[in-house]
Structure 1
């Protein structure tokens, strides 16, 4: 029988006739019910606190150092490299069209044109070249200057870009578009028994000066005196004649 049933039984005794009310029993059962309710409430509260304590214990245990939450690493780009300061008055670096160190050693003799630029001699010489995919092109003609100590400075280099560089006839002709200072005379080379080379400009004929390449006498180097043909002036035509004045 539960506590409620016992209390109900004690109180219902009064409903039966002839039965005296037992106040002692009613009070006893009421006290017992209230006591059990208090105990039950205390047990429920204790169980709740235990559950909370268990949850807390999972996160931090007594004596453990407090955990520190670290921020998520963020990738940071390196700072840009500062540009080097420039001086407004500093001149722009210039690179010659052709530098002496870019030219291989002359093949055969160096030809002196007889033209002087101060103490330097205007000279011409053949050098070895290489054109990708063109095995028939292996030489070029350079126009340069020779210092008193023999050091060469190359101003212009011309060469074929296809075909055969020893084929009969005229090959590439060099023009100096600057036409000032130590300007390079118009020059080139002819392959064959040429004894005379004549150029035409504005209806006027000018004769070139000739020299044979020491490594191959069929290669005739020619140039026009700047007094007869200004450097940079384009020829309207050019012809070569042999020793019998036959046109080649």
Structure 2
């Protein structure tokens, strides 16, 4: 009979009602088996320890109790301890603020500067065409600026309007510039029309207001117009606007 069978036989002896558990015998047989198994390796030693633990918790069988089923020895395996270092975020380099261009010179006028006749101290109100570049609109290459010209000829641009699609030379009215801010040098409402316009009339609050006209020196089809501040307050929106040719026909 093998040592394992001897130990199992000692355990089964507890199944008989008239028999009491011989703890000395069980522990002795378990100890012998444990010593023999220990030399076989760490895995077998763990199994023997588990078996001894199962035997140690056995109790004396009572008369009339059903026989306890055999259970394989349970082996408890402790999970390995894993040390986790706290994650420290990498330092983020501070992004420098964007550089803001200051004292940008005004755009260079294309053609002659148009004098509106309106004065702001020693400066005169002027209009002039400038070059522009609009992404996705290759046929928009010019815009109309409203500015002031000092006695020495220096220009200050107040408002610049231009188309954002289509062509800047299509016939008819284009963008109209309104002064949306309060300033000591308010900009009269202005714009331009492409075509043989001889008269441009705006409507506001049911009354008609005639605009003053001047043609661009580089293209006579481009008619620059503006409204006198005494006739139309800067920033006041027009209800409508029309253009007429020399014969009075509406364009």
Select the residue among 204, 208, 220 that pairs with 1:205: 208
Q: Corresponding residue for 2:243?
A: 240
Larger CA deviation: 99-108 vs 181-190: 99-108
Q: Corresponding residue for 1:30?
A: none
Select the residue among 85, 109, 112 that pairs with 1:109: 112
Task: Give the secondary structure class of the aligned counterpart of 2:139.
Answer: coil
Write out per-residue CA displacement over residues 2-56 of structure 1, whole angstroms, 9 at most, x where no aligned residue.
xxxxxxxxxxxxxxxxxxxxxxxxxxxxxxxxxxxxxxxxxxxxxxxxxxxxxxx
Within a 5 Å distance, the mapping from 1:1-248 to structure 2 comes to 101=104, 103-248=106-251
Give the TM-score normalised by the residue count of structure 2.
0.59
**Cα gap change, 1:76/1:164 in structure 2, threshold over 3 Å: closer, same or farther?**
closer
Measure the CA separation in 2 of the matches of 1:169 and 1:76: 61
Which runs of 5 or more structure 2 residues have no equivalent in the other structure?
1-87, 95-99
Q: CA RMSD in A?
A: 2.6
Counting matched residue pairs gives: 161
Q: Corresponding residue for 1:39?
A: none
Which runs of 5 or more structure 1 residues have no equivalent in the other structure?
1-74, 82-94
- Contact 2:172–2:195, Cα closer than 8 Å, also in 1: yes
Task: Give the secondary structure class of the aligned counterpart of 1:200.
Answer: strand
- Contact 1:179–1:232, Cα closer than 8 Å, also in 2: no
Report the Cα offset of residue 181 of structure 1: 1.6
**Cα gap change, 1:208/1:218 in structure 2, threshold over 3 Å: closer, same or farther?**
same
Measure the CA separation in 2 of the matches of 1:112 and 1:103: 17
